[in-house]
Amino acid sequence: MVVVIGEILIDIFPNYARIGGAPFNFAYHLKKLGFPVRFLTRVGRDEHGRRILDRLGRSGFNLDDVQIDPRFPTGTVRVDLDEQGVPRFDICENVAYDHLDLGIWQAIGADSVEMIYFGSLLQRTGSGYRQVQDFLSGSGNTAIGFCDINMRPPHVNTRAIKHSLQRADLLKLNEDELADIQRTFHGPTDPDNVIAWLMDTFKINTVALTRGSRGSTLYRVDTEINSPGLPGTTIVDTVGAGDGYAAILAAGYLRNIPWAETIEQASRFASRICGIPGAVPDDQMFYDDFRPSMKGQPNGR
């Protein structure tokens, strides 16, 4: 089982609105790929919250894992796209997911959890930071910690970033986030050494660095695997492409699929996400090309 903790929200584009949030996007993709997922989140008692609950219910999620906040609204993000479909986010503060109470889920059986996914946006507040770190501390050492850093200034808690990196067995980040981490924690300015510094400083086994249209690179001790960008990609918007990449990365890890094949599939999936509006598809046939390649064997890494 994969436990995903974090935000679900409404992405408000200039001409339409979509359900989003990196943890939701990740959880939704894994669910549609056939993985057992528990998604721990919180929404408001409002129209946006009802829309989200309806979508989660129809998608097979356990609604008992979704808290309803009686006071604070469902999270929203205003999304503006540039000419290349690259988003700029205006994220609302003090919303329902900022008040997520993870204490009630401490009873989740540690033995059945293969992976815990967490990000940094939920930890932008002191309360969110404590909730996530306490949950991770209480989960034992058997589950893989998958940290998908999501640094959206000014919604960045430096202390949370540090401790999240220390909790990560598997880390996904982009070039801008890597540069921010290097500056914040005084890493080497030489780009050839910064990944080795990151992995050594925070004791991270595996790092996936995404580079947008230029592809991605996966790093492990003494291993570096490059996946080039895919030419000819039709871009509607790039919202959620990194979350799609993260989902395939997790699936490949959990099914013990060779890393080179995993990141190639992750790049292809992210490219497909760029061709739809928003971060998750309405057409469930979207996943048909990827389910067979994600079968593999149970994790033995």
> For the chain, where are the alpha helices, taking DSSP H only?
22-32, 47-58, 126-138, 158-167, 175-184, 191-202, 241-254, 259-273
Q: What is the pLDDT of residues 71-93, one digit of tens each?
A: 999 999 998 888 777 778 889 99
Q: Does pTM top 0.85 for this prediction?
A: yes
What pLDDT score does 192 carry?
85
Q: In this structure, which amino acid lies at residue 76?
A: T
Triad 125, 141, 139: Cα angle to 5°: 50
Reported as a single tens digit per residue, the pLDDT across 235-294 is 888 888 999 999 999 999 999 999 999 999 999 999 999 888 888 998 888 999 888 777
Q: How many distinct structural domains can be found in the chain? A: 1
Domain that holds residue 140: 2-294
Does residue 183 lie within any of the structural domains?
yes
Instruction: State residue 258's pLDDT score.
Output: 94
Give a yes or no: residue 261 inside a domain: yes
- Quote the pLDDT of residue 268: 92
Give me the amino acid identity at 84: Q
Q: From the CB of residue 256, how many other CB atoms can be counted at a distance below 10 Å?
A: 13
CA distance linking residue 279 with residue 295, whole number of Å? 23
Q: How far is CA 171 from CA 90, 108, 178, in A?
A: 25, 23, 11
Phi then psi dihedrals of residue 80, to 5 deg: -110, 135
User: By the 8 A CB rule, do 35 and 248 touch?
Assistant: no
Give domain status of residue 301, yes or no: no
Cα within 13 Å of Cα(70), Cβ side? 0
Say which CATH number the domain at 108 has: 3.40.1190.20
Alpha carbon separation from 264 to 8, 228, 238 (Å, rounded): 27, 8, 18
Decide if 123 is inside a domain.
Answer: yes
Q: Is 106 among the domain residues?
A: yes
